[in-house]
A and B are shown apart, each in its own frame.
Chain A
Amino acid sequence: MGYFADANEVDKYIGGVFRAAAEHPESGPKFRSAGINLRVLYTDPDVEMWVLMREPAMEVTTGPSDETADITLMMRSDTGDKYWRGEYNLAVGLAKGEVKAKGPVNKILKLVPLTKPLFPMYRDLVADKDAAQA
């Protein structure tokens, strides 16, 4: 059994951290100004998540979209959970094929460092769920 019970939880927690990112004083403006459409295909449970990084507000949605993705990532939902906890090395995951990526590498490289300040926010988001499972 994976960490997330269903697609709604993936949206609540991983989608939630992206939504919180929009409000983060340092990362928020950088995400919004990136002008990148990120599509993440999570599996087990399966969720298609879209993060539209644009002004004036970042949009985070799940399900199919008519938008065109600049970057598409594919990974297990559990991998997404570990990444946002700061416990998963994305480079190693790409080497192992556990994470797949499509899109301009330079854009991916610009996004990655923006996520690190958000790791504590994610851990806060899942704290109650962790406590309930303990």
Chain B
Amino acid sequence: MATMKAVVLRKPFEVVVDEVERPTITDPADVLLRVDLTAICGTDLHPYDGRIELEEDVVLGHEFVGTVVEVGSAVNLVSEGDRAVASCVVSCGHCRNCNRGRPGQCAGTRIFGLGLTFGSLSGGQAEYVVVPNADLTLRKLTDEGAGNDEDKLFVGDIMATGYEAVRKVIRPGDSVAVVGAGPVGLCAAMSANVLGASRVMVVDKVAARLKEAEAIGAVGIDASVTDPTEAVQDLTDWRGADVVIDAVGHPSALLSACALVASGGSISIPGVYLEDSIDIPFGDLYLKGVSIHQGVANIINYMDETLALIAAGKLDPSRFISHRMPMSEATEAYRMFAEREATKIVLDPTR
């Protein structure tokens, strides 16, 4: 049995780097990738802290780029030796929602590194990973244009997620407020600039993250010293933001988003919610005619756009990487990320 090193979640708060069985392709549409770079995502924290309950011993990770080492007989778009980035979400490509352009709501949605619940796909925080439905899930990488593999790594999740959250609701000239300056929030703010926002405001309490937001041209609003609602009202001639992005996925963030949005505006929620119910000011939202958009991101719909914008030098999400670490230090990396000591951590599986 061939083995490999991988980041394994034994149980909540117990991440180890262990020797596990190397995955093999089992379907003609599969590709085996040697992982070159992998990242820790905010979604990884859900099983890490037990908010999403998984079985024991799950190989984590759903953001990765790699090199193709083996292709199934039905794969046409990549070949051995190609470098490629994978969507974190694997869809079937032929169900009703896939045919309606909603692969994030595919009846058979699978997500790498989230266990049996999401289709038993072994994660990408490993030396090797099998990518199902590869022609749909992967995008081949080239060296043309701007951007490096660290930028393109994020097209598989945070960049496409943040981009979609803005792209599906914005009109040119809109004001955009982003609640939460984590990686997805920062990618959303960066996308809002590219997609024609007149002003981008980012709300958070972590000074380093607000500094990142300001560095890409957003107005940082420190919720620990300023009332974000007042601040956004002041910056929008008392209208509120036309577009509000909840990039946190916590009821308090959603309530904040409800308070920031303008009449006729939209709330877009890339943050993850699993609560049975949440109290929101529904009458206020109704009277303001606010639209709410949410759901698992339709990553594959936006990978080509974000790769093109990276190549054009208009998106550069690698600037949000705060730490580059060997995968062997994943235990410490998870601790740091969970305690917000790092904005974004990239792991090198070869070290």
- Given A93-B108, A94-B108, A95-B108, decide whether A112 and B117 contact each other with a Cβ distance below 8 A: yes
Is the CB–CB distance between B274 and A117 below 8 Å? Answer: no
**Between-chain CB contacts (< 8 Å), 24 pairs:** A89-B119, A89-B120, A90-B119, A91-B108, A91-B118, A91-B120, A92-B108, A92-B110, A94-B107, A94-B108, A95-B94, A95-B95, A97-B95, A104-B276, A106-B274, A107-B276, A112-B116, A113-B53, A113-B55, A113-B115, A115-B116, A116-B116, A117-B55, A117-B56
A34 smallest CB distance to B (angstroms): 11
- B interface residue count range (under 10 / 10 to 19 / 20 to 34 / 35 or more): 20 to 34
Q: For chain A residues 112-128, which have a beta carbon within 8 Å of chain B? A: 112-117
Selected contact of A109 from candidates B91, B117, B120, CB within 8 Å = B117
Selected contact of A96 from candidates B108, B119, B275, CB within 8 Å = B108
Q: Which residues of A contact B116 (CB under 8 A)?
A: 90, 112-113, 115-116
Q: For chain B residues 57-114, which have a beta carbon within 8 Å of chain A? A: 91-92, 94-95, 106-110
Mask: chain B, 193-224; 1 = CB below 8 Å from A; 0 = not: 00000000000000000000000000000000
**Which A positions have Cβ atoms within 8 angstroms of B?**
89-97, 104, 106-107, 109-110, 112-117
Q: Which residues of A contact B107 (CB under 8 A)?
A: 94-95, 97
Is the CB–CB distance between A95 and B92 below 8 Å? Answer: yes
B115 smallest CB distance to A (angstroms): 6
Q: What is the predominant secondary structure among interface residues of chain B facing chain A?
A: loop
Q: Which residues of B contact A107 (CB under 8 A)?
A: 276
Q: For chain B residues 115-136, which have a beta carbon within 8 Å of chain A? A: 115-120
B99 smallest CB distance to A (angstroms): 12
Alpha-carbon distance between A88 and B121 when the two chains are bound, in angstroms: 13
Q: Which residues of A contact B95 (CB under 8 A)?
A: 95, 97
A134 smallest CB distance to B (angstroms): 25
Q: Which residues of B contact A113 (CB under 8 A)?
A: 53-55, 115-117
**Which B positions have Cβ atoms within 8 angstroms of A?**
52-56, 91-92, 94-95, 106-110, 115-120, 274-276
Q: Which residues of B contact A115 (CB under 8 A)?
A: 116
Alpha-carbon distance between A109 and B55 when the two chains are bound, in angstroms: 12
Q: Which residues of A contact B274 (CB under 8 A)?
A: 106, 109
A58 smallest CB distance to B (angstroms): 18
Q: Which residues of A contact B106 (CB under 8 A)?
A: 95
Most buried by B among A89, A91, A104: A91
Minimum CB distance partner of A115 in chain B: B116
B54 smallest CB distance to A (angstroms): 5
Q: Which residues of B contact A97 (CB under 8 A)?
A: 95, 107
Alpha-carbon distance between A97 and B98 when the two chains are bound, in angstroms: 13
Q: Which residues of A contact B52 (CB under 8 A)?
A: 109
Alpha-carbon distance between A86 and B108 when the two chains are bound, in angstroms: 17
Q: Which residues of A contact B108 (CB under 8 A)?
A: 91-96
Alpha-carbon distance between A112 and B55 when the two chains are bound, in angstroms: 9
Alpha-carbon distance between A95 and B98 when the two chains are bound, in angstroms: 10
B109 smallest CB distance to A (angstroms): 6
Minimum CB distance partner of A93 in chain B: B108
A35 smallest CB distance to B (angstroms): 10
Is the CB–CB distance between B110 and A91 below 8 Å? Answer: yes
A65 smallest CB distance to B (angstroms): 23
